[in-house]
């Protein structure tokens, strides 16, 4: 099986050649002088900075012979559930639970069939339930909210820092009530939240912390893996993620009791230590064996792609540093990113009023796959009104509290700003491209900026 557009061998060859070339050039800055950004915009009929037909961007998901062979091995075994495979000592799920801790420095990993369900298992394992409140981010996938709703807890949304896109700890603290049981920070784009302040607040108010690390596989914060700073972390292996299998997830922790409780939830209430003893309420969130095999097949080479993303992100951070029109996502502390996306904040005023949608089109015409991300925050969706009509929520919460919840959801201006200003490139395929592609990214942005006057009359 061929990997779409760029296979592993070619990827490593191109990446190493370009990286070596950059080293000999002496610095990112000197490398940046090798590309001309003058000429007519491609959107207006000129030649693109990057010829995507001659130099296609890496496609996603990652596919190679190892992934194919591992998946087919599991399929042909006929042992498609963990318990059948374990009897023959060929369980791919069990192999993941053994090998993933090496990537994320966690003692315990429990696989699930989705990232949403990993978050849900974490909520249940920490005994967060009906009538409780969990503070989280409105700038995320609905799975973040759904995990809280499945426990009939109330997802209370706090506003963001407009330049990091992460939860604003000050607003988090304002949203704490006597019913608050946990904070669920979302490490958006795959880089760390302001975990120092979030943990300070959690410790002060005796709250649990569930890290939504679904976009942040292998990311770190000041030397600590994201997901191991709070009580529990959760991963997603949905097809678009940097390590993907279609649908899948994991819950990980260094707390043995939490790990065992999570397993019990995942196993529809069956006790981890006493097989067959059904001790609590829990759905069935098991990961299938064939799905696990898709992940196992990628593990041996994943670190190469992780390193490539971080190399490219550092390059782009350096190039855009000081350019007010496109500010790289602000990051907290030091460490690697998981880079589900690489994101920048677009300043319409600096581009003389050119709408961000026009900027996307201009960049796409230049051969750069830049676009928006989340068009509107979760606080703008109908579920906010819907849950306040449900009898169970009206039994659990006063009318005054539900009104306050709805009013708070209307007042998240920084989230609205982020939704309207983010320009991002996917971390899946594009961010593992050779460094020369990142130079093209930067050059295209400069070309669009230099020709911004010509875009003012664009009506496409």
Give residue-wise pLDDT tens across range 4-25: 444 444 444 444 444 433 332 3
Specify the pLDDT at position 36.
57
Query: What is the SS3 assignment for 245?
Result: coil
User: 200 to each of 219, 234, 254, how far by Cα in Å?
Assistant: 21, 21, 19
* Burial tier of 38 (Cβ tally within 10 Å: 0-12, 13-18, 19+): exposed
**Cis amide leading into 435 (omega within 30):** no
pLDDT of the residue at 26: 32
Transcribe 44-60 into DSSP letters: GT---SS-TTTSPPPPS
Q: Decide: helix, strand or coil at residue 124.
A: helix
| E strand spans, 317-419 | 326-328, 341-346, 370-371
Which residue numbers in the chain have pLDDT < 50?
Answer: 1-34
Name the pTM for this structure. 0.91
For helices 8-25 and 289-320, angle between their N-to-C axes, nearest 10 degrees: 20
CA distance 181 to 134: 6
- What are the residue ranges of CATH 3.90.1150.10 in the chain? 8-62+301-374+419-455
CA distance 205 to 6: 50
**In 216-272, where does DSSP find H-type helix?**
256-266
Instruction: List residues bridging with 371 in a β-sheet.
Output: 424
Residue bearing tokens 């914060």: 221
Taking the CA of residue 397 as centre, how many other CA atoms within 13 Å lie in the half-sphere pointing to its CB?
27
> E strands, 309-411, where?
326-328, 341-346, 370-371
Distances (CA, A) of 302 to 41, 328, 341, 450, 460: 37, 25, 16, 38, 40
pLDDT for 88 equals: 66
Closest CA to 241 of 309, 178, 331: 309
List helix spans (H) across 321-388.
356-365, 383-387
Which residues, listed in sequence order, are joined to residue 212 by a DSSP beta bridge?
186, 234
The token pair that represents 219 in the structure block: 């990311």
Write down the CATH number for the domain with range 8-62+301-374+419-455. 3.90.1150.10
Q: What is the mean pLDDT of the chain?
A: 92
Q: How far apart are CA 397 and CA 406, in angstroms?
A: 13
What is the rounded CA–CA span in Å between residue 369 and residue 362?
10
Handedness of CA 317, 321, 326, 332 (dihedral sign): positive
With beta carbons less than 8 A apart as the criterion, state whether 433 and 58 touch.
yes
User: Which is nearest to 369 in space by CA: 144, 57, 137, 48?
Assistant: 57
Residue 428, classed as helix, strand or coil, is: coil
Q: Are 367 and 49 spatial neighbours (Cβ–Cβ below 8 Å)?
A: yes
Q: Give the Cβ contact number of residue 96 at 10 Å.
A: 24
Please list the residues that pair with 344 across neighbouring strands: 328, 423
C-alpha neighbours within 13 Å on the C-beta side of residue 215: 23
**CA–CA gap between residue 31 and residue 47 (Å, rounded):** 22
Q: List every span in the chain annotated with CATH 3.40.640.10.
A: 65-296
* CATH fold group of domain 65-296: 3.40.640
């Amino acid at each position: 099986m061929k990997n779409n557009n760029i296979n592993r061998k070619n990827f490593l060859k191109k990446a190493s050649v370009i990286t070596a070339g950059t080293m000999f050039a002496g610095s990112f800055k000197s490398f940046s002088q090798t590309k001309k950004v003058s000429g007519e915009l491609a959107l207006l009929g000129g030649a693109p900075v990057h010829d995507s037909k001659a130099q296609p961007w890496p496609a996603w998901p990652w596919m190679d012979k190892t992934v194919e062979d591992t998946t087919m091995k599991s399929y042909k075994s006929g042992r498609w559930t963990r318990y059948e495979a374990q009897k023959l000592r060929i369980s791919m799920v069990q192999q993941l639970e053994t090998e993933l801790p090496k990537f994320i420095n966690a003692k315990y990993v429990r696989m699930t069939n989705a990232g949403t369900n990993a978050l849900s298992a974490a909520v249940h394992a920490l005994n967060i339930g009906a009538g409780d409140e969990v503070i989280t981010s409105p700038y995320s996938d609905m799975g973040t909210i759904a995990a809280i709703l499945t426990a009939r807890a109330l997802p209370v949304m706090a506003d963001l820092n407009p330049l990091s896109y992460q939860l604003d700890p000050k607003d988090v603290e304002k949203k704490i009530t006597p019913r608050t049981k946990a904070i669920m920070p979302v490490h958006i784009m795959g880089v760390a939240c302001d975990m120092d302040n979030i943990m300070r607040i959690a410790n002060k108010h005796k709250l649990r912390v569930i890290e939504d690390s679904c976009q942040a596989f292998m990311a770190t914060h000041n030397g600590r893996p994201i997901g191991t700073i709070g009580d529990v972390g959760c991963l997603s292996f949905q097809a678009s993620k940097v390590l993907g299998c279609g649908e899948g997830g994991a819950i990980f922790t260094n707390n043995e009791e939490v790990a065992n409780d999570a397993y019990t939830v995942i196993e529809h209430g069956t006790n981890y230590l006493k097989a067959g003893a059904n001790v609590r309420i829990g759905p069935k969130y098991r990961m299938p064996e064939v799905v696990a095999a898709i992940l196992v097949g990628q593990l041996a080479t994943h670190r190469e792609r992780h390193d490539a993303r971080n190399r490219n992100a550092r390059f782009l951070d350096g190039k855009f540093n000081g350019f007010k029109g496109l500010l790289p996502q602000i990051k907290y502390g030091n460490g690697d990113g998981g880079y589900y996306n690489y994101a920048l904040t677009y300043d319409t005023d600096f581009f003389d009023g050119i709408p961000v949608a026009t900027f996307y089109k201009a960049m796409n015409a230049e051969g750069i796959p830049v676009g928006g991300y989340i068009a509107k925050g979760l606080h703008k969706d109908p579920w906010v009104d819907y849950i306040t009509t449900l009898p169970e929520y009206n039994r659990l919460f006063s009318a005054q509290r539900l009104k306050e919840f709805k009013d708070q959801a209307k007042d998240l201006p920084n989230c609205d700003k982020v939704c309207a200003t983010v320009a991002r490139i996917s971390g899946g395929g594009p961010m593992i491209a050779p460094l020369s592609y990142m130079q093209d990214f930067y050059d295209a942005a400069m070309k669009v900026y230099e020709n911004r006057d010509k875009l003012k009359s664009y009506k496409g």
